[in-house]
Amino acid sequence: MSENIKLFDISKCTGCRGCQLACKQWNQLRAKQTRMRGTYQNPPDLQPNTYLIMRFQEVEDSKGLRWYYRHQACMHCSDAACVKVCPSGALYYSAFNTVGLSHEKCIACKECVSACPFDIPRFDERTDKIYKCDMCESRIANNLEPACVKACPTGALKWGDKDRLVKAAYKRAKELGDGAYVYGDKFVDGTHLVYVLQEKPGMYAALPKSPSVPLSIVLWKDVLKPLSILAAGGVLAGSFFHYIIHGPKTPDEDTSTKTEGGE
**CA dist., res. 51 & res. 135, Å (int):** 10
Question: Which residues, numbered 81-120, are part of the site for ligand SF4 (CB under 6 A)?
Answer: 81-82, 99, 116, 118, 120
Residue from 4, 5, 18, 173 binding ligand SF4 (CB under 6 A): 18
Closest contact distance (angstroms) between CB of 124 and ligand SF4 is: 15
**CA dist., res. 170 & res. 205, Å (int):** 22
**CA dist., res. 197 & res. 8, Å (int):** 9
Determine if 182 is a binding residue for ligand SF4 (CB under 6 A).
no
Half-sphere exposure of residue 153: CA atoms within 13 angstroms, side-chain side? 6
Answer yes or no: are the C-beta atoms of 135 and 192 closer than 8 Å.
yes
Cα–Cα separations (whole angstroms), residue 133 to 26, 174, 229, 242, 254: 11, 30, 33, 52, 67
Closest contact distance (angstroms) between CB of 29 and ligand SF4 is: 9
Residue from 5, 13, 165, 168 binding ligand SF4 (CB under 6 A): 13
Residue from 85, 132, 184, 197 binding ligand SF4 (CB under 6 A): 132
Closest contact distance (angstroms) between CB of 54 and ligand SF4 is: 5
Q: Which is nearer to ligand SF4, 98 or 173 (CB)?
A: 98
Residue from 7, 46, 129, 146 binding ligand SF4 (CB under 6 A): 146
Determine if 7 is a binding residue for ligand SF4 (CB under 6 A).
no
Determine if 159 is a binding residue for ligand SF4 (CB under 6 A).
no
Residue from 46, 86, 151, 165 binding ligand SF4 (CB under 6 A): 151
- By CB atoms closer than 10 A (0-12, 13-18, 19+), residue 233 is exposed
Cis amide linkage into residue 208, ω under 30° from 0: no
Q: Which is nearer to ligand SF4, 151 or 180 (CB)?
A: 151
- By CB atoms closer than 10 A (0-12, 13-18, 19+), residue 167 is exposed
Residue from 4, 5, 7, 26 binding ligand SF4 (CB under 6 A): 26
DSSP single-letter state for residue 69: E
Question: Which residues, numbered 49-68, are part of the site for ligand SF4 (CB under 6 A)?
Answer: 51-52, 54
Residue from 22, 53, 106, 180 binding ligand SF4 (CB under 6 A): 22
**CA dist., res. 263 & res. 261, Å (int):** 7
Q: Which is nearer to ligand SF4, 27 or 47 (CB)?
A: 27
Pairing of strands 193-197, 4-9: parallel
Nearest to 129 by CA among 72, 88, 163: 88
> Which residues sit at the interface with ligand SF4, rule CB under 6 A?
13-19, 22-23, 26-27, 51-52, 54, 69, 71, 73-77, 80-82, 99, 116, 118, 120-121, 132-136, 146-148, 151-152, 154, 156-157
